Amino acid sequence: MSEITRYSLTEIKTLLEKKSLTSEEIVSAYQTAYENDNNADIPLNGYIEFFKDARTRASAEDIKRKNNTHGRLSGLPIAVKDNILITGKKATCGSKILEGFSAPYTATVIRRLEKEGAVFLGRTNMDEFAMGSSCEYSQYGPTRNPVNREYVPGGSSGGSAAVVGAFQAPAALGSDTGGSVRLPASFCGLYGLKPGYGTLSRYGLVAYGSSLDQIGIVAHNPADIALLLSVCAGIDSKDSTSRDFSYSDMFPLTPGNLKGLKVALPVQLNGEGNSDSVRKTAAGFIDWLKQQGADVSEISIPNLSYTVAIYYIIAPAEASSNLARYDGIEYGLRNDNGNLLDMYINTRSEGFGSEVKRRIFIGNYVLSSGYYDAYYKKAQAVRSLLTHEFDNIFTDYDIVLSPTSPTPPFKLGEKLDDPVTMYLQDICTIYANLVGIPAISIPAGMSNDNLPIGMQLAGRQGNENLLLSIAQSWKNRGGAA
């Protein structure tokens, strides 16, 4: 493996500024890493497509730097999840129903990164329409964990985490609707940030659950995440839910001073439901926080007990509405062997995978007449109570701490036939999406089987800088990388 691919994004930035390397050399090294792996006996299957024009774009950035007309991210390579749009590039969301579809416009986040000179390496594999926790629900086949290829990388942004973990990209964009950036980061031994709702524009992100979706970032280093966030955050006229947060001064990232930091430890997420290795890792991380002067207190957040139930009402309800547009009329797959109704049925039956169909059925059910009040309306009411609980918590505490997942990575195929067990992998992460607050997964240790384990920090809206600075403090003390 080329030494070049081992550099972090911020290290690459420094090397380019010193003219020690060219962007074309860097992109070429990542392309070679991808091609070598793709020809291996057990490929990672992290990329769906490595962009053919990546080296050309890198070369153009090399010229801009020579002419001193470059941006802040000039020549920095980034991988992109297959549900984030780039004009002219395919975007299929890992689904047969969008097979061959090319994006007619560019996502705001991509446009902001591109304006500053970022080079996009390729699109990464994902659970179909971001519905999954293992990256096994994709028409392109499952992605494997770069640490141990018998295991899943987590989902739904499993491809993004896998290519970063396998040193086929220094950083990647993903999306997070219930843990889909943080869980893969945890399973692959990386840092993964889900910003607060509205911090990054959702314009150009293919919708799953519109009140829950958020673009996130996976990298080896918190400073890399801060660098990208400093460029792409902020209000967007194309997204009415975007927030006027400016993070232009976030990079360079300063390690946080943890003395006096007030940390809440919810008993609902730190109990017997977690594996022994996860509890051991959590105890070690808590000890480190205390050694740094943080004040860690156990608290109870009663409505956390209902988060899985309310999430799997609200998210499928929004998904059933958002995915109604895939009918064979405007774009994507079209099976028109029959009348109009048959075309709808045949196209959607053929185009959607089993997990997507399951969630559409659930969503239609909870929104149907006679069940709307009993399920959807009640779930939204509990969501409001949960939000109120967290508003109160953040008057007394700076962050909320839990494991990212109750278990280390599991084997490929282990949970495919048990959707409820699969859904429970998100038990620690989904509250952040329901409440709309930022959360980060930090690589905190390894299991007895030498598999990564992550810890999650969540903070109040607009407090991504605090989460990243704490993560950088952990990184600097020689924690899991």
Q: CATH number for the domain including 135?
A: 3.90.1300.10
Residue matched to tokens 């971001």: 130
Distance of CA 211 to the CA centre of its chain: 16
Do β-strands 262-266 and 215-219 pair in parallel, antiparallel, or remain unpaired? unpaired
- In whole angstroms, how far apart are CA 323 and each of 135, 355, 372? 19, 13, 19
Q: What is the pLDDT of residue 478?
A: 57
Digit-coded pLDDT (tens) for 89-101? 999 999 999 998 9
Residue 37 lies in a domain: yes
Encode the chain (481 residues) as per-residue pLDDT tens digits: 579 999 999 999 999 999 999 999 999 999 999 999 999 999 999 999 999 999 999 999 999 999 999 999 999 999 999 999 999 999 999 999 999 899 999 999 999 999 999 999 999 999 999 999 999 999 999 999 999 999 999 999 999 999 999 999 999 999 999 999 999 999 999 999 999 999 999 999 999 999 999 999 999 999 999 999 999 999 999 999 999 887 888 899 999 999 999 999 999 999 878 999 999 999 999 999 999 999 999 999 999 999 999 999 999 999 999 999 999 888 889 988 778 888 888 999 999 999 999 999 999 999 998 899 999 999 999 999 999 999 999 999 999 999 999 999 999 999 998 999 999 999 999 999 999 999 999 999 999 999 999 999 999 999 999 999 999 999 998 544 4
Residue 202 lies in a domain: yes
Closest alpha carbon to 449 in 408, 478, 412: 408
What is the number of structural domains in the chain?
1
Distance of CA 235 to the CA centre of its chain: 20
Residue 74 lies in a domain: yes
Q: Can you give the length of the chain in residues?
A: 481
Contacts of residue 349, Cβ cutoff 8 Å, sequence gap at least 6: none
Closest alpha carbon to 114 in 245, 231, 247: 231
Structure tokens at 471: 């993560």
Residue 151 lies in a domain: yes
Q: What is the pLDDT of residue 175?
A: 98
Closest alpha carbon to 206 in 76, 78, 80, 351: 80
Looking at the DSSP assignment, which residues form a beta bridge with residue 465?
none
Q: What is the pLDDT of residue 481?
A: 41
Q: Roughly what angle, to the nearest 10 degrees, separates helices 464-476 and 222-232?
A: 160
Residue 206 lies in a domain: yes
Residue 374 to residue 330: CA distance in whole angstroms:
35
Residue 392 lies in a domain: no
Distance of CA 118 to the CA centre of its chain: 19
Contact indicator for 284, 477 with CB cutoff of 8 Å: no
Looking at the DSSP assignment, which residues form a beta bridge with residue 389?
none
Residue 80 structural domain: 3-232
Residue 381 lies in a domain: no
Read off φ and ψ for residue 264, nearest 5 degrees. -100, 135
Helix (H, G, I), strand (E, B) or coil at 383: helix
Helix (H, G, I), strand (E, B) or coil at 278: helix
Residue 71 lies in a domain: yes
Q: What's the longest Cα–Cα distance across the chain? A: 69
Q: What is the pLDDT of residue 249?
A: 84
Contact indicator for 135, 125 with CB cutoff of 8 Å: yes
List residues with catalytic annotation: 81, 156, 180
pTM assigned to the model: 0.96
